A = this chain, B = another copy of it.
Amino acid sequence: MSGPADQALKQRASKVIPGGMYGHQSVSFLPPSAPQFFKRAEGAYLWDHDDKRYIDFMSAYGPNLFGYCHAQIDAAYTQQMQSIDVATGPTALMVDLAEAYADLVTHCDWSIFCKNGTDATSIALMIARAHRNKKKILMATGAYHGAAPWCTPMPAGTVADDRKHFIYYQYNDASSLRAAAEDAGEDLAGIFASPFKHDVLIDQELPNLEYAKAARQICDDKEAVLIIDDVRAGFRMERDCSWHSLGVEPDLSSWGKAIANGHPISCLMGSERTKKAASDIYTTGSFWFAGAAMAAALKTLEIIKTSDYIEHTVTLGTILRDGLNDIASKHSLNISQTGPVQMPLIMFNDDAGNRDMMVGTGFADGMIKGGAYFHHFHNMFINAAMTQDDITQTLELAQKVISSITTPQKA
């Protein structure tokens, strides 16, 4: 169980927040030791209200790329806030940032800035449909593209008509994708693809080239729009759109989370081909033109371009993955570590088919108790503020936790 201060806050929250908490930050499906509230964040660490410190492997579910309370990025935010943030029009930073993305991201010729990842995917949906005035959208079964009525993973409060023109395919299965495109006939507006398969509760999968190329080819053949939803993985795998090294460029890519290291901004980038449709749709938000988050995004981009942060998180992720494999192997525990090493998902094969996920829950519970905030069914995120020492401590802890969950307790 989380500490008494956290329990007291949860008690208060249950009165004034539906379900005590909502959305992806609710701990209702997490192990009992997971605190619901945090009081301080710095670099790779979080502190809860009982003053317990955690090495945070969730990185705010993605936004924390370079460390919490990053001095330079936060200074950029604050400094801009002191001259102009939200106003009756945008600042010049909006042009600077759109130019900077067009320079860096291969397929990007223009940007639309917004606040939520769901804004960027919703705008992508609208542009795909406006492009040739078609309706059908292909999406991979189980893929997460946001939490608006058209895409929320839980149907409560939505109507079937919200998803009437969506056709589902199996990620990484080119023939399933082709069959879905066939179903769409002449009405195919676009294809949503995650940069890799990062659904919750199941092993992650990197994209295979046949699938990625099929997605591009179908969109070319049918005048449809290929959308990479890079909200979660953007700038964590590449200093470009995440399919760039595969040699496949989308027409649209949605970004969010880490692009300003946690400051609130998301973005839809697009190629010249879709610019007309992008100017035909109407979408907006009260805070979308605010300058401070754009200043933070520009500073974040500077660090993305000039530091070895990806390589650093890959190094740490590799040490973590190898170390956990060693420990599991020594304890004859069958674990499955999938996805890019810097965005790890750790599942326990003994949990397969068991809804209680007893092993995974027990492991995550032990890790959190020991001061490493782990998740047992959502991919985690290594951030660049982490050190080898953090990983060493985490592996030492994992050794103890795995021993405790694999060694039968004395009666």
- Which residues of A are in contact with B by a Cβ distance under 8 Å? 9, 12-13, 15-19, 21-25, 27, 35-41, 46, 49, 56, 58-64, 68-69, 74, 77-78, 81-92, 94-95, 98-99, 101-102, 109-112, 115-119, 122, 125-130, 135, 147-150, 152-154, 156-159, 161-162, 164-165, 231, 256-257, 262-264, 266, 270, 275, 277-290, 293, 373
Identical subunits present? 2
Nearest CB of B to A200, in Å: 12
Contact A147 B282 (CB under 8 A): yes
- What chain B residues lie within 8 Å of A88 (beta carbons)? 25, 38, 46, 56, 58-61, 373
Report Cα–Cα, A257/B262, bound state, in Å: 21
Instruction: Say whether, besides A69-B82, A99-B16, A282 and B154 are in contact (CB < 8 Å).
Output: yes
Report Cα–Cα, A74/B278, bound state, in Å: 34
Instruction: Say whether, besides A25-B284, A88-B59, A283-B23, A12 and B83 are in contact (CB < 8 Å).
Output: no
A135 nearest in chain B by CB position? B159
Nearest CB of B to A78, in Å: 5
Query: Which among B62, B98, B287 is the interface contact of A63 at CB below 8 angstroms?
Result: B287
Most chain-B Cβ atoms within 10 A of its Cβ — which of A18, A119, A264? A18
Report Cα–Cα, A89/B48, bound state, in Å: 9
Contact A156 B264 (CB under 8 A): no
Report Cα–Cα, A68/B84, bound state, in Å: 8
Query: Which among B24, B41, B256 is the interface contact of A87 at CB below 8 angstroms?
Result: B41
Contact A18 B286 (CB under 8 A): no
Query: Which among B18, B83, B90 is the interface contact of A36 at CB below 8 angstroms?
Result: B90
User: Top 3 closest A-B pairs, CB basis?
Assistant: A23-B284, A126-B157, A19-B279
